[in-house]
Amino acid sequence: MATAEPLTGLPQGESSRELARGWRTLTRAATAVAVLTSPALFVWFTQQNGWSWWVSLLATVGVIVVFRGFADLLFHRLIPWPSLFGTESLQLREEDIVGRRRAWFWRYWFRLAVFFSLLVTVIYVIRLAQGKEDVTWWGTVGSMFSSIGRILSSSTLWVQAVFVFFLFFANFAILMGPMLLMGISQIRAFEPGDAQWGVKLDDVRGQQEAKEEVRRVVTIWQSGEAFERAGGKRERGLLFLGAPGTGKTMLAKAIATGFNSPFISIPGSGFAQTFIGIDAIIVRYLAWKAKRIARKWGGQCIVFIDEIDAVGMRRASLGTGGFAGAHRVGPTDPSDLLFFGPWGALNPSGDLVLETGRWRDRLFEERAPERQGPSGLHQRLAGIANFIMPGGMGGGMGGGLALNQLLVVMDGIDNPPFLKRTFTNRLNTLLDASYIVPRRLGKVPLRRPAPRPRAEQIYFIGATNVPMEMLDPALTRPGRMGRHVSFRTPTQQDRLDVFDLYINKVTHDPDLDTPTRRDEIARITNGYSPAMIDQVCSMALTIAHHSGRDAFEWVDLVEAMTTLESGTAVGVEYVAEESRAVAIHEAGHAISGHAYMKDIESTRLSIRMRGGSLGHHQAAAKEERFSKFQSEDFANLIWTLGAMAAERVFYGENSRGVGGDVYSATALTATMVGQWAMGPQPFTVAPREGETEEQARQRVLERFERIGLQIMNRTGGSPMTADPVASALGDPSKRRVAAQILGQAYVTAHNLVRHNRHAIEHVADRLIEKKEIFGNDLLSLLESATIRIPEVDYNDESSWPGAFFASGSDSRPAGPSTPPPPMLEAAS
């Protein structure tokens, strides 16, 4: 096609408008020529061919229309199209649309006519070559149509076509039908009144900010006409981000209950199919079902996709075995490095648990269920298919096709219906190409109006427990799931809010309704999710009913909590010496933490065997903190080593039970040095005779280092073989600083225990008596112990562990080539 050349002396816009006006004049002239010559055609058809007047009239109109179409094609080959970009004239733009539509129509039929003419000519020439002298070109056309008519009227042909059609769909149903049905069966549609989950928006506790954000969006969803008239645009989708058990699914159900609209749910794994294309079919079916049910119920429907990360992961990371954004630069909290067992203990022995914000987030992350792929039946059917067609149709597990289709569906959910669009387009094209029916008659349009977008409003809610950067940006951008609502793990105040909901649903002792007791319950339920709180209340009532009581009490609630966390306590009675040793060990932790960790408070102390641990001390941060100073990490070390110090002060040696403490203390100390550039705590020491202040300081640091090297774990394990721990312990200078910190922490714990023997014994005696102490009872016990933090005189030999560790000589230990001091059995 020719290219438009701007007319000389005219701006480009004016040039295009002038060209469009010229096109209008040319097409009108061609129409006038065709109309003026039409009487001659009519006379020729009636006089020469002897046709009746109405047949001649139809033939004349047909020839004129074809002539006009051919003229338009010829004109467009010789004259360029006008460019109306930026033109404000609606008339010129409409004429341009009509002209292009006519050109497309006649170009299609002209090419089809040329192809048919060539085909007839070839057949005509072949028949002439066969010696058939009575054959004419038009006769060949007639015989072709006669042959086609006989074929189409054959009953055998139709029977074969139907049979082949049936075989195709029968084979499709046999091979892929079961998996397609299993995928579709995961789409659960609930119309208003079908299901009553009993969930209201007020029942979602502990997520006030998320609820308020959702309330704003849903209000606009339900009655946002005024909002749209003001120029706003309703959100298409919501994305719920948060750890498992934080209430995402519950809030989605509350929205459906309060919204009084249809609600369709499907897990993200429901899109994962064995065969390529089945996942896309499921997405299309989901969209069709949502539109159909929305039309039935006033035009609104909510689609909830749980675990949307199963289908919405970054396409660049699909099939690579890794996730984009899943890299953490380094540990920001001890729980990033030290996290053992189902409750995230700080040490492998499981007897130290400290609740912080990061610990809670990781605990909920660990509870996340593994992503489910195709079911066993899916896999068996895939095996059969691969046996029949090796390597043929599998591979749909990548998820890219389902994600692409889901994005297309979300963008086109309000597109006009396909059949209506197609019918309108073809009808208007035919009317324009006829050159007879005008676009409008006065102000009355004579064309079918373009179909409007669908009135149905389909809203999408996705829920995921993976970081948003792992999801495909095309899914989370504005216009799709562009509104992101974060769900935090329940803090102490959130747990109090949740307990206020669930504890009032079951019969309980009035003592549990006091503000003090409720605060205590929320404080000791470290890491509990709303579902766990509901379960523990029900379990407490079960224990009470089993004992013949109608309402549960504090002791029933405590028993339910410990059973839920660690399973039923093992019915093992320690021998008296071992029971006291375990009590001394745990009391050492509790006293050290209570004395030095001012930002935490103890919540539980136990010597009952649960989950493989002989006992444990549990504490929680008083306030949500996002960073810590060196002194706070040092206090954590004192808490960790307090049990070892207690055993050595009371028994002159330590047990194997300190192995877990040594393990975590070593890892934390190395991280402090290698990751956070920390060193020993500031201290003062008076110079001895003949010493300078620096020499006195170095003397103390060397003794810290010797003690720390003996405590330091060197047996390996996960934290010991990964940065920054391995890097810090592998570097002689870093290892020396780490040993100094570790030694200083132990000396501090040693002096604390030595000066508070009575407090340790007091706590241990009560612990032996009660086995487990919780909440306010534990805080009262620690406060009554009158713990005193001593001033340490580093020149006083009694302040040092002495014979329990390496020699107290003031000489620096040998270099790396010299064998290190012998390791304690407890450190192995």
DSSP 3-state of 188: strand
Distance (Å, whole) CA 631 – CA 725: 20
End-to-end C-alpha distance for the chain, whole angstroms: 85
Distance of CA 510 to CAs 504, 518, 545, 549, Å?
10, 11, 17, 14
Give the up-direction half-sphere exposure of residue 113: CA atoms within 13 A in the CB hemisphere. 9
Residue type, 295: R
DSSP 3-state of 708: helix
Name the residue with tokens 């705590």: 681
Q: What would the pLDDT profile of 147-165 be if each residue is shown by its tens digit?
A: 887 777 777 777 877 878 7
What is the CATH number assigned to the segment(s) 185-318+368-413+455-487?
3.40.50.300
Cis peptide before 820 (omega within 30 of 0): no
pLDDT at residue 334 in the model: 73
Indicate whether 588 pLDDT > 90: yes
Residue type, 13: G
Indicate whether 714 pLDDT > 70: no
Name the residue with tokens 């269920």: 369
What is the CATH number assigned to the segment(s) 569-827?
1.20.58.760
Residue type, 527: G
Distance (Å, whole) CA 745 – CA 759: 20
Nearest to 520 by CA among 604, 615, 625: 604
How does strand 440-441 pair with strand 444-445?
Answer: antiparallel
Indicate whether 805 pLDDT > 60: no
pLDDT at residue 4 in the model: 43
Name the residue with tokens 């989708």: 237
Q: Mean per-residue pLDDT for 732-761? A: 90
Confidence label for 596 from pLDDT (cuts 50, 70 and 90): very high
Q: CB count, 10 Å around CB of 479? A: 11
DSSP H or E segment with residue 460: strand 457-464
Q: Mean per-residue pLDDT for 172-201? A: 71
pLDDT at residue 610 in the model: 64
Distance (Å, whole) CA 97 – CA 84: 11
Name the residue with tokens 């030290």: 338
State the average pLDDT for the chain: 76
Give the up-direction half-sphere exposure of residue 181: CA atoms within 13 A in the CB hemisphere. 8
The arrangement of strands across the sheet holding 300-306 comes to 188-190, 263-267, 300-306, 457-464, 237-242, 483-487
pLDDT at residue 724 in the model: 59
DSSP H or E segment with residue 441: strand 440-441
Q: What is the DSSP letter of 482?
A: -
Q: What is the DSSP letter of 452?
A: P
Q: What would the pLDDT profile of 606-627 be if each residue is shown by its tens digit?
A: 887 765 677 888 888 877 777 7
CATH, domain 492-565, list 1.10.8.60, 3.20.20.70, 2.60.120.380, 1.10.1740.10: 1.10.8.60
Residue type, 781: L
Q: Which of 392-401, 444-453, 584-593, 740-749 has the lowest mean pLDDT?
A: 392-401
Please report the beta strands in 639-779, taking only residues with DSSP state E, as ranges in sequence order.
Answer: 772-774
Give the up-direction half-sphere exposure of residue 414: CA atoms within 13 A in the CB hemisphere. 14
Show the tokens assigned to 391: 């390597």
Q: Mean per-residue pLDDT for 500-516? A: 86
Indicate whether 197 pLDDT > 60: no
Q: What would the pLDDT profile of 48-85 be if each residue is shown by its tens digit?
A: 777 888 888 888 888 888 888 888 788 777 777 666 65
Q: Which of 43-47, 154-158, 322-326, 666-670 has the lowest mean pLDDT?
A: 322-326
Name the residue with tokens 């320690």: 574
**Residue 630 and residue 671 in contact, taking contact as beta carbons nearer than 8 Å:** no
Distance (Å, whole) CA 414 – CA 410: 9
Name the residue with tokens 């009227």: 153
Distance (Å, whole) CA 579 – CA 615: 10
Question: What burial class does residue 679 get, using C-beta atoms within 10 Å of its C-beta: 0-12 exposed, 13-18 middle, 19+ buried?
Answer: middle
**Residue 312 and residue 271 in contact, taking contact as beta carbons nearer than 8 Å:** no
Distance (Å, whole) CA 91 – CA 439: 11
DSSP H or E segment with residue 106: helix 90-129
Q: Mean per-residue pLDDT for 240-255? A: 82
SS (H, E, C) 719-758: HHHCCCHHHHHHCHHHHHHHHHHHHHHHHHHHHHHHHCHH
Q: What would the pLDDT profile of 181-190 be if each residue is shown by its tens digit?
A: 777 778 888 7
pLDDT at residue 637 in the model: 92
Domain boundaries defined on the chain: 12-151, 185-318+368-413+455-487, 416-452, 492-565, 569-827
DSSP labels for 193-254? TT------GGG--S-HHHHHHHHHHHHHHHS-HHHHHTT-----EEEEEE-TTSSHHHHHHH
Name the residue with tokens 């609740």: 355
